[in-house]
Amino acid sequence: MAITKVKPSGPDGIQRPNSSGITVIIIGLGYAGAVAAIECHRKGHKVIVFEQASEIKALGDVIGITGNAAGIISKWGNGKVHAQLEPILCDYERMNLYTHKGEYLTGHTMLGYSAGSGYAANRGDLQVIFYKHMLDLGIDVRLGHPISDLFEDENQAGVVVNGERIAADCVLACNGVHSNSRSFIIGRSDKPTATGYAVFRAWFDGSEARKDPKLAWAFEGDRDKMETYIGRDVHCIVGTGRRAKDIVWTCTHKDTWDIAESWSYPGKISDVLKVLDGWDQRIIDLVKWTPESQLVDYKLVWRDPLPGWTSRHGRMILLGDSAHPFLPTSGQGAGQAVEDAGTIAICLELAGKSRVQLALKTCEKMRYARATLAQKIGIETRDAWHNFDVEQFKKDKRSIEMPRPDWLFGHDPQEYAYEEFETAANAVLTGGPYMPRNVPPPGESHRTGDFTGKKIKAWVDYDKNRKEDVPLRAKL
């Protein structure tokens, strides 16, 4: 059964603005929301974004948009956005793992994460660049607009903002793990569950700290450093950012606070030092340099995988953390949110205005198994670190590595969406089985390190230009 009604623009293509006749409301301006807005605009849909924050600020620590997702962003503005990102990216060569006492265990490359094959950077800086690009495109972004209610029927879906009902063809709920959209869309209350852990997070200017000879280890060479220390119920990731200009670190630890109180607290250096009592002195020295104003204690919460992401009438869908919250140890939270966003824009393009519900359900069909499996990796990695087994490590050093499987890092979600849409849509229409091809085949391990590196096209172009000693941004 043929589904597609339009000439597809293809993975690298764009449609004329507002040419699809589809109006999309997006709730939330995190990574899922920002990318969904830009990709929907690129595929010809009219976009309205509602964000409850009154401004977009450059705040936060490091976030990694891995290669499977960074390829989507690298195309924006014919490479202009990539050129803006390149100077702020972290350039990690390896991740080295140590015991909490500083004894070296193993290490692996950062292919898929680092500059050249991914976008690792300060999350606030990335967000500001994405936001400015949305404004350049003329996307309707409404800051300081909290959603008080949602509504939908067979013909439309919408939001209530400041007492006004605003309708569209569909609503994409991208407002995160604390999303109040989840209960409306899934039809029941769904509160987050405490994981029992929280993470201290910090990012600060390292210009003064690098003068301290005790921190010389963190500033060796001109590439960024990432070191991971693992102990019982605690792990720390410490290193540098912005090409060794800044210091960034996180420390995941046991937490007993009631998550109903808050999900993020101002952190205290004294609390960090208590958690790290007896740990390698190098980490202690680095933590002591941290301005307390740059430290937060972020509560890690969890929601079990949902049975589905779409609403009763099929005109609303959860994307990103709203649908599948990730632990930091997955390394894929932002990547899977971006994959969601790129996929929904293509599904709407191919289904057309008369089949918006089919588009949302097909997106879920293509994305559900992949995102759920990627979620699992975060739990497995955290448990491997927090319950470090020396004997198991002797048998298999990869048991404590961050997995870098090709099925995850080497995937092109846009190409897959165009290739797979009709098969997945037919499964939705007929109720028949669907076997996704974006997960490992049955019987194969999902925790592998077989990704060998795939350069983002914009990076290939950038390298060529650097050989000519002409920055990419100067040629655009």
The pLDDT score that the predictor gives to residue 180 is: 77
Say yes or no: domain 23-89+123-190+304-439+446-462 is CATH 3.40.50.410: no
Provide the residue count of the chain: 476
Check 42, 123, 182, 201 and give the catalytic one. Answer: 201
The pLDDT score that the predictor gives to residue 3 is: 55
What CATH number labels 194-302?
A: 3.30.9.30
CB atoms inside a 10 Å sphere around CB 233: 14
Cβ contacts of 134 within 8 Å, gap of 6 or more: 34, 37, 38, 41, 49, 141
Buried b (16+ CB within 10 A) or exposed e, 245-268: ebbbbbbbbebeeebeeebebebe
| Mean pLDDT per 10-residue interval, the chain, length 476 residues | 71 96 96 97 98 81 89 94 92 92 92 86 92 97 95 97 96 84 79 80 92 92 90 92 91 72 75 95 95 88 80 96 83 92 98 98 97 90 85 83 91 97 98 95 88 72 48 30
How would you classify the pairing of strands 92-99 and 157-161?
Answer: unpaired
Rounded distance between C-alpha atoms, residue 321 and residue 38, angstroms: 18
Rounded distance between C-alpha atoms, residue 57 and residue 87, angstroms: 19
The pLDDT score that the predictor gives to residue 475 is: 29
- Taking only the tens place, the pLDDT of each residue in 44-97 is 999 999 999 998 876 677 888 999 999 999 999 999 999 999 999 998 888 999
Name which of 162, 138, 258, 248 is nearest 201 in CA terms: 248
Amino acid letter, 471:
P
DSSP for 79-134 reads: GHHHHHHGGG---EEEEEEEETT--EEEEEE-TTTSTTTSEEEEHHHHHHHHHHHH
* 131 labelled catalytic: no
The ranges assigned to domains in the chain are 23-89+123-190+304-439+446-462, 194-302
8 Å CB contact between 25 and 2 = no
Check 31, 92, 131, 229 and give the catalytic one. Answer: 229
Amino acid letter, 366:
M
Strand, coil or helix: what is 248?
strand
* 229 labelled catalytic: yes
Strand, coil or helix: what is 363?
helix
Cβ contacts of 142 within 8 Å, gap of 6 or more: 48, 49, 50, 51, 161
DSSP for 172-196 reads: EE---TT-SHHHHHHTS----EEEE
Distances (CA, A) of 311 to 26, 164, 228, 315: 15, 21, 41, 6
- Taking only the tens place, the pLDDT of each residue in 91-100 is 888 899 999 9
8 Å CB contact between 268 and 292 = yes
Two tokens, residue 259: 């998550």
8 Å CB contact between 334 and 69 = yes
Rounded distance between C-alpha atoms, residue 195 and residue 328, angstroms: 12
Burial class (CB in 10 A: 0-12, 13-18, 19+), 372: middle
Rounded distance between C-alpha atoms, residue 45 and residue 414, angstroms: 17
Query: Quick one: residue 44, left, alpha or beta (phi over 0 = left, psi -120 to 50 = alpha)?
Result: left
Rounded distance between C-alpha atoms, residue 92 and residue 99, angstroms: 20
Rounded distance between C-alpha atoms, residue 173 and residue 337, angstroms: 12
Distance linking the first and last C-alpha atoms of the chain: 43
